Chains A and B, each alone.
Chain A
Amino acid sequence: MAISNDICLRASGVGRSFGGRKVLRDISLEVEKAEIFGLLGPSGAGKTTLVKLLAGIDEASAGHVELLGTKLPKLSMLKRIGYMAQSDALYMELSASENLKFFGKLMGLKGEPLKRRMQHVVDLVGLGEHLRKPVSSYSGGMKRRLSLAIALIHEPEVLILDEPTVGIDPVMRQSIWDELREISAGGATIIVTTHVMDEAEKCHRLGMVRDGRLIAVGTPDGLKQDTGSDTIEQAFLYYGGVRS
């Protein structure tokens, strides 16, 4: 099979086990460029493990992951990925701008371009007025937005977000999804995990994960139509029920 130019990320037969316990089994999926791909599943389904493999932080025990035609994990590829972890990995003693500057420098930015990017991402997530405050004084939602800004700082071609909207109020969640659509319209690929069904509707395509398996892949409407369901939740129940 020839590698299509439109494929951003391809996982083939990926499995991951921790000390004999299989967390992921035989997952194969393809994510196209500039697509918003959602991974939907309950907590404990293996979403975070999968996302770490796709981000090239962890290595698969079986199968392999290819990003933009390069096999992961590879150090140089990390520069092209923006990763936002499930927990806010921020330095509490430092201000938002110091956190941003630090991660920007690690990504190889400096001087004027770094300043420009910082300004851009801060405007994007709406943290402008709080930039100088120490992160320890931030609310949960502000920390999530800062984490997102950090993931975006180096203009990654692929953005991998693990539960980006947990604990964020509906208004803010709406604005974050608006941003994600904007980023995707700009040509970047976005992979996002969620366990909220209505959020899944906003993705271009969805992968449903349950018990470490990928039980269905398709567009939200397609999945609903195929199962004759009115909601994504019903579709999820359908696929989950058939398999178990």
Chain B
Amino acid sequence: MRIRALASRIIRQFIRDKRTMALLIVAPLLVLSLMYLVFDSDDYVPKLGTIDLPDAIVQQLESESVELHRYPDAAEADAALAEQDIDAYLSLDGATPQLKLEGSDPSKNRAVQLLVARTLSDLPMPGAASGAAAAAHVEPAIGYLHGGEDMTAFDSLGPIFIGVFAFFFVFLIAGVSFLKERTSGTLERLLATPLRRWEIVAGYIIGFGVFTGIQAILIATYCIHVLGLMMDGSLGLVLLMTLLLAVTALSFGMLLSTLANTEFQMIQFIPIVIVPQIFFSGLFDLDTMSPWISWLSHIMPLKYGSEALRNIMLRGEGWSGIALDVYVLIGISFLFMAANVLALRKYRKI
């Protein structure tokens, strides 16, 4: 009864506050759309310079997707490289091909190297036995356990971003709202009623939970159906995970707001608690980090959520594949809520 009164008051306040509503619902969609446009651009066409290459190689290069520029000597090619007109140039030192790269962008480096390696290996070797040449041309048939040939970077990272934005915006809004309850004196007023401390926390979780639920449904369906994010698993599980992440963010934001005195101090928590979580969310490969750093990921709620979202969406895993993540997030949420109830003791002992 009292929890319901509190939750419905929060919902009513929220509906009146159009800006906050937009931040929670529209902002994640906007950012994800932008991300889609940024990531989902066409494959990069490398710009390659050539100096005195045999026709066979040039012909082979022309059959690839590449922009070729011819230069008479190395000096001019170097100048073009410095101007960033080309990404690299290929020349022959005797019989040995030499590739010089501009070098400041790893992804372009890789694209050029791949292109050159492919071109040279496809060249018919002069003087080689025809049988050996044919053998050199055998390409493996490629199959995928998950994903597929058409998978883009956005497909691969999308699930993480669904998690990150659901988490981030809810954290911020829940934190600031709960803070406002304190700074406006209404928290003290609430504590002058027979409302129990846990009822306050529960009312907040339920009231905000309604909007985070709407947010979760919107983000997930928008990404999958409008942006065409790869989706191999069940939508229900994606929604469950997104909602769980949001509830974790909700209880986390409320808890941290008790450590802040102003909205600005709440914003100061972002680089401390949100940014590191994004680093450990799977955006970067945890396997290549030193063990003690990657161990940190185990205390980051976002990691469990985004890992589970990837497992569902990219690897088509069912309940058994994400159950552990679900339990961990539920556990963390309850931990934060309990800490919240304790933190409210600061304002009323009973």
Contact = CB atoms under 8 A, between A and B. Distances in A.
A106 B6 contact: yes
A177 interface: no
In the complex, the 4 A-B pairs of residues with the closest C-beta atoms, listed nearest first: A89-B189, A105-B5, A89-B185, A93-B16
B185 A94 contact: no
Interface string A226-242: 00000000000000000
* Main DSSP-derived SS at the A contact region: loop
Contact of B13 (A75, A81, A87, A91): A91
A73 B185 contact: no
Residue in A76, A79, A87, A102 whose Cβ sees the most chain B Cβ within 10 Å: A102
Contact of A107 (B16, B193, B196): B193
Contact of B350 (A74, A79, A98, A107): A74
A98 B10 CA distance: 11
A134 interface: yes
Contact of A57 (B9, B12, B184, B188): B188
Contact of A73 (B2, B190, B196, B350): B350
B349 A78 contact: no
28 contacts: A57-B191, A57-B192, A58-B348, A73-B348, A74-B350, A78-B192, A78-B193, A78-B194, A79-B194, A85-B188, A85-B189, A87-B185, A89-B189, A90-B186, A91-B13, A93-B16, A93-B17, A94-B13, A94-B16, A102-B5, A103-B193, A105-B1, A106-B5, A106-B6, A106-B190, A106-B193, A107-B193, A108-B2
Nearest to A101: B5
A115 interface: no
A92 B12 CA distance: 12
Given A93-B13, A94-B13, A98-B12, A85 B192 contact: yes
Interface of B: 1-2, 5-6, 9, 12-13, 16-17, 184-186, 188-196, 348-350
B9 A102 contact: yes
Contacts of B191: 57
A133 interface: no
Contacts, number: 73
Contacts of A57: 188, 191-192, 348
B349 A73 contact: yes
Contacts of B195: 106
Q: Which secondary structure characterizes the binding site on chain B?
A: loop
A37 interface: no
Interface in A13-27: none
- Counting chain B CB atoms within 10 Å of each CB, the highest count among A55, A79, A89 belongs to A89
A88 interface: yes
A83 B350 contact: no
Interface of A: 55, 57-59, 73-76, 78-79, 81, 83, 85, 87-94, 98, 102-103, 105-108, 110, 134
Contact of A88 (B13, B185, B348): B185
B128 to A, nearest CB: 80
Contacts of B196: 75
Nearest to A92: B184
Given A78-B193, A79-B194, A93-B13, A105 B186 contact: no
A98 B6 CA distance: 12
Nearest to A105: B5
